[in-house]
A and B are shown apart, each in its own frame.
Chain A
Amino acid sequence: SAVISQKPSRDICQRGTSLTIQCQVDSQVTMMFWYRQQPGQSLTLIATANQGSEATYESGFVIDKFPISRPNLTFSTLTVSNMSPEDSSIYLCSVSRQGNTDTQYFGPGTRLTVL
Chain B
Amino acid sequence: GENVEQHPSTLSVQEGDSAVIKCTYSDSASNYFPWYKQELGKRPQLIIDIRSNVGEKKDQRIAVTLNKTAKHFSLHITETQPEDSAVYFCAASPIRTGTASKLTFGTGTRLQVTL
Q: Which A residues contact B (CB, under 8 angstroms)?
A: 1, 30-31, 33, 41-45, 48, 58-59, 92, 96, 101-109
Contacts and interface: CB of A to CB of B under 8 A. Distances in A.
23 contacts: A41-B107, A42-B89, A42-B106, A42-B108, A43-B44, A43-B89, A43-B103, A45-B102, A45-B104, A48-B100, A48-B102, A92-B44, A96-B100, A96-B101, A101-B99, A102-B32, A102-B51, A102-B100, A103-B49, A104-B46, A104-B101, A106-B36, A106-B45
Highest count of chain A CB atoms <10 Å: which of B43, B100, B108:
B100
Interface in B67-115: 89, 93, 95-108
In this complex, the interface size class of chain B, counting residues with CB under 8 Å from chain A, is: 20 to 34
A104 B103 contact: yes
Contact of A109 (B43, B46, B97, B105): B43
Contacts of A41: 107-108
Contacts of A1: 46
Given A45-B103, A96-B100, A101-B101, 9 more contacts: A31-B99, A44-B105, A45-B104, A101-B99, A102-B93, A102-B100, A104-B34, A106-B36, A108-B42
